[in-house]
Structure 1
Amino acid sequence: MTDNTLWTPSQAREFRDRLHSEGRKLVFTNGCFDILHRGHVTYLEFARQQGDALVIGLNSDDSVRRANKGPERPINCEEDRAFVLRALRCVDAVVVFNEDEPKELIAKILPDVLVKGKDWAHYVSGREVVEANGGKVVLADMVEGRSTTRTVEKILQAKTAQAEA
């Protein structure tokens, strides 16, 4: 882990430029990462293996709410989600973004590799800018049966079963 603070887009770009001067590559991915689970960690470890450093674009709380995740989401606030992500060995930095998609953030950072889950194969935000600047997009396999939505559903089912007992 490079730093335990949130980075600005400018700091992430400076980091990318420093990596380039050393002949190294920056990987970028993004998401909500609410209730971190095995699927998330597997995905992030895969993303990190695509280059020399990993920066995560983290959806702000407002951005998560607009992403049709439901009025109760996110479960964990952006500060807590960022703190947990930064604690992972495979994560070098986290940048919070408030837009509905990370296209503008990606254009500012210009990563060498953009990683998204195969469930997003139909649309990868920022693909055009990454590829236009010589970078590549890599689609990651998903861990079957692991998702925050599924975790929330299991919790609600358990709560309902307990109330009915």
Structure 2
Amino acid sequence: MWQDTRSKIVSASKAAEAVSQAVSQGKKVVFTNGCFDILHAGHVRYLGEARNLGDLLILGLNSDNSVKRQNKAPDRPINNQENRAEVISALAAVDYVIIFDEDTPARLIELIRPGVLVKGGDWPVHKIVGADTVKAAGGEVHSIPLVTGLSTTNVLARIRESQEE
């Protein structure tokens, strides 16, 4: 039976409450963030590996405005933040999704105080936003290797190439 997972899309304060409760039960909280515009197998594997590093995975999702400010491409994001949040919330690995409008997740990381901070392998640990905050609190920071050839940029390039033919 299908289950509506939109209840996993929460405010930052609601996520902080869930994290506090989880930590009080001795659970390890993992945090990651990103755009997750066109979901692909690389995203699914990455989020599964991130979730395996703890008991609860909180995902900070860049808002549409935040993505546009990153200058990924003039037409990005392809999917709006509500649709991206709904799709990503449907993954079993993800416990909560928070849409954030800032350029970085620094404020969220300070509020959530995860025990583990994760980004994809294109981010060296020393450049991961919030790494200092998490490490200072005794937490771990990981850069999970990317799956070669699987990226939203590559998917969009293949789509654009096929339209030109």
Fold agreement, TM-score > 0.5:
yes
Structure 2 gap segments, 5+ residues each: none
Using the size of structure 1 for normalisation, the TM-score is 0.94
Q: Could you tell me how far 1:117 is from its partner in structure 2? A: 1.1
Q: How does 1:145-164 map to 2 (within 5 A)?
A: 145-161=149-165
Residue 6 (structure 2) aligns with: 4
1:127 correspondence with 2:123: no
**For 2:64, which of 48, 61, 64 is the aligned residue?**
61
- CA–CA distance in structure 2, aligned partners of residues 2 and 108 of structure 1: 27
Equivalent residue for 1:106?
109
Aligned equivalents of 1:2, 1:11: Cα separation in 2? 18
SS of the residue corresponding to residue 120 of structure 1 reads coil
Q: Distance in 1 between matches of 2:33 and 2:79?
A: 16
Greater mean deviation of Cα atoms: 28-37 or 8-17: 8-17
Q: 1:18-65 deviations in whole A, cap 9, x for unaligned?
A: 111111111000000010001100100000000001010000000101
Amino acid at match of 2:135: E
Counterparts of 2:109 and 2:52, CA distance in 1:
19
SS at match of 1:143: coil
**Residue 3 of structure 1: how far off its partner (Å):** 5.5
Matched, 1:77 2:80: yes
Question: Is the contact made by 1:2 and 1:92 (CA closer than 8 Å) also made in structure 2?
Answer: no
The equivalent residue for 1:41 is 44
Name the amino acid aligned to 1:84.
Answer: V
* Mapping of residues 2-41 of structure 1, within 5 Å: 4-5=6-7, 6-41=9-44
Work out whether residues 101 and 125 of structure 1, in 8 Å CA contact, stay in contact via their aligned partners in 2. Answer: yes
TM-score between both structures, scaled by the size of structure 2: 0.94
Over the matched positions of the two proteins, sequence identity in percent amounts to 49
Q: How far is the alpha carbon of 1:4 from its aligned partner?
A: 2.2
Q: Give the aligned length.
A: 161
Q: 2:53, 2:162 → 1: CA distance?
A: 38
